[in-house]
Structure 1
């Protein structure tokens, strides 16, 4: 079917103030229309308009009718919310009609209105629509810790469901939440809350026309925890200060708990935490064994700052942050009874050699490894040096809401090696194929 090469379809964005919010020129376009297309709500803004009305519903039927009206040289006006080309009907129209037949007249988008109501710039904001989609779309953005996030909702993925979903992810990043309802109308309502304030709310608690804004907050302080109410072990990931650019870079709670069990800690020990990161493992050890001395070795300056802040937060005076590169920095530390390695900075073999020289006979070493290459390297090294070792593959999923149901969201798997030095080490010769494992590139493991 051929189309006349003239603009026959005007797509007009409108706000909740209806026709009163349109300019005189835009109103003139509506007045000339012979066909009005839109939802019942949008068409109700023009109750006395004499044009034929097409109510949006079955889009195949609506678009076919519009094509026939174009051939008949009718003047079609499509009424939509806000900016038609911003998560709007504009995309579908461009997929079904030649662009030369379409003219767009945008109104203020709800995202524009929302950020202006909050008096926040939004050129750096991320915008996601979960309207008819999965909340899983939010996971990579929340794990990354984006600063600002605007979310288009629907009756299932309403603000309460979004708050519940975020809380169940148990991320170390903290967000403040704004619910923006009926923006641009006399019933407009904008209010702020913490996700915990509304995570039990249902769709009936919100206007159907709402938008959620999440803004990342640094709400942790050094003294906002009631230490008496914390568990003996297994602190929530969200309780720790973390890296701004990599908030997920922390040994996850479930892995920490298993690592603590494998270390078989005793009072009055010296413990090393190599590649300490945020200090989460060191702090768990220090709280379990207050008479032990824990050395958190971290190469990055930002990591040392985080360890110090987290130690202050949890009042763990027996954690000693050590700024330096392993293995070089290890020679100056007291000989350990237990060692945990959470990151190697590309020096895994050298670190293992240094640990072998320093670890007491009968001492235990636990490594958390994210990559198969480092796993193969370690297993070959322990076999060569005759350590007794065992391996666990930890693959944990956490529950997250899925509409009115619950699904499981996996966290990255981790390989946990527990090795014990039983006697003075001797080196055995391995066949060449076994030695190949020691030649893998050695990269720092990441637990994002």
Structure 2
């Protein structure tokens, strides 16, 4: 099939910044689809112009209605880097589509800051909760962010300051790479700039006294709001090792409680998502609170019981049951798991442990017991205080 759909990245320099081949493609198009800004950067075209559809998810259907014509979709910078490219690539055959990349905002930011792209984090909070940046805040980290609008830099500054990184240096650019490029520099705790709606930003994290310094995974228990019922740090680390977070993967956390496992799952891999099923409303509230505070705002917390509440959930790549496993719940979860999916269940009661032993005898896998002791005060001295022993069953679907 001859390619009829061209996805063209464009910068602030408009048509002048395109290669001759790409410029000719745009000029010869029958239909050009893009945002108001994109259309403003491509004047004097003869093509039919179409604005981004609303809702944006209707874009694919809009494109399909023009199959057979010479269609150009305009995007900012590199269409395949946090833009429309991946969505389009999944929806059309490879030989139907040609991508024409331009310098991305990340590349422009790195150039302006003199930073190596290989040594920093590239993040997007465009149309997404700003809290997604939280896991990447650490001493001396350099972050480049695509923003939603003029309010985003202030929101980022507030998040940094609240976590003890108020001395962090923030630089915001508007109209990067164009004649109207602007730059705003400041410190997070004192940020008061009014910036353009269309902007990108660079952050150099500076930790102050008492700054929150957290790993991506292996979070201490006291950073979670909890009623005391949660998978503790040491057991959680082993549990996550068995669940194996992977980019874009889906977790079912059955009996999610305060959400500790689901939250670390999402912190452990880019674009990973989790669905937490929990019968108690107060624990759902805690899980939601923790997800926002710890940078996993995409947690979907569902109040309900398993296995009934599992119906209709996206196919999981991993399933965790924190307690109260039944054979019926296991069978439903196991049947739903994708190939190479991971199943992990923990038990602290004799009754649930008996279920794990029975399932282990039928399905195999690994059955272990985990015992943790922590040094705590005993009067004026110190002694070892054991936590409840956890029995863990895990297996991988081949």
Tell me whether 1:42 sits opposite 2:1 in the alignment.
no
Matching residue of 2:201? 212
3-state SS in 1 of match to 2:205: strand
**1:215 and 1:101 mapped to 2: Cα distance?**
41
**2:161 and 2:64 mapped to 1: Cα distance?**
47
**1:45 and 1:21 mapped to 2: Cα distance?**
10
**2:387 and 2:36 mapped to 1: Cα distance?**
68
Deviations 1:305-345 (A, max 9, x none): xxxxxxxxxxxxxxxxxxxxxxxxxxxxxxxxxxxxxxxxx
**1:45 and 1:410 mapped to 2: Cα distance?**
39
Name the CA shift for 1:104/1:146 in 2 (closer, same or farther; >3 Å).
farther
Name the CA shift for 1:371/1:10 in 2 (closer, same or farther; >3 Å).
closer
- 8 Å Cα contact 1:37-1:56 kept in structure 2: yes
Matching residue of 1:166? 160
Tell me whether 1:197 sits opposite 2:186 in the alignment.
no
Runs of 4+ deviating beyond 6 Å: 248-253, 438-441
1:182-331 maps to which residues of 2 (within 5 A)?
182-198=175-191, 200=192, 205-217=194-206, 237-238=210-211
Deviation at 1:145? 4.0
Name the CA shift for 1:61/1:139 in 2 (closer, same or farther; >3 Å).
closer
Matching residue of 2:47? 51
**1:112 and 1:24 mapped to 2: Cα distance?**
22
Deviation at 1:421? 4.2
Tell me whether 1:114 sits opposite 2:105 in the alignment.
no
The alignment covers a number of residue pairs equal to: 249
- 8 Å Cα contact 2:12-2:41 kept in structure 1: no
**1:36 and 1:118 mapped to 2: Cα distance?**
34
**2:32 and 2:22 mapped to 1: Cα distance?**
14
**1:16 and 1:64 mapped to 2: Cα distance?**
28
Name the CA shift for 1:99/1:157 in 2 (closer, same or farther; >3 Å).
farther
Gaps of 5+ in 1: 221-235, 254-369, 374-406, 426-434, 442-448
Matching residue of 2:18? 22
Matching residue of 1:136? 131
**1:251 and 1:207 mapped to 2: Cα distance?**
40
Gaps of 5+ in 2: 224-231, 236-288, 295-373, 391-398
Name the CA shift for 1:74/1:130 in 2 (closer, same or farther; >3 Å).
same
- 8 Å Cα contact 2:147-2:200 kept in structure 1: yes
**1:206 and 1:102 mapped to 2: Cα distance?**
36
**1:88 and 1:21 mapped to 2: Cα distance?**
19
3-state SS in 2 of match to 1:123: helix
- 8 Å Cα contact 1:180-1:189 kept in structure 2: yes
Name the CA shift for 1:187/1:6 in 2 (closer, same or farther; >3 Å).
same
- 8 Å Cα contact 1:30-1:77 kept in structure 2: yes
- 8 Å Cα contact 2:168-2:206 kept in structure 1: yes
Deviation at 1:108? 0.6
**2:86 and 2:18 mapped to 1: Cα distance?**
22
- 8 Å Cα contact 2:149-2:196 kept in structure 1: no
Deviations 1:124-172 (A, max 9, x none): 2211111121122111111x4462211111137511111011111225x
Deviation at 1:217? 4.3
- 8 Å Cα contact 1:14-1:79 kept in structure 2: yes
Deviation at 1:96? 1.9
Give the aligned CA root-mean-square deviation in angstroms: 4.0
Name the CA shift for 1:250/1:214 in 2 (closer, same or farther; >3 Å).
farther
- 8 Å Cα contact 1:54-1:62 kept in structure 2: no
TM-score between both structures, scaled by the size of structure 1: 0.48
Deviations 1:334-358 (A, max 9, x none): xxxxxxxxxxxxxxxxxxxxxxxxx
**2:29 and 2:77 mapped to 1: Cα distance?**
20
Matching residue of 1:84? 79
**2:388 and 2:173 mapped to 1: Cα distance?**
56
> Highest CA radius of gyration, 1 or 2?
1
**2:31 and 2:387 mapped to 1: Cα distance?**
73
Deviation at 1:103? 0.5
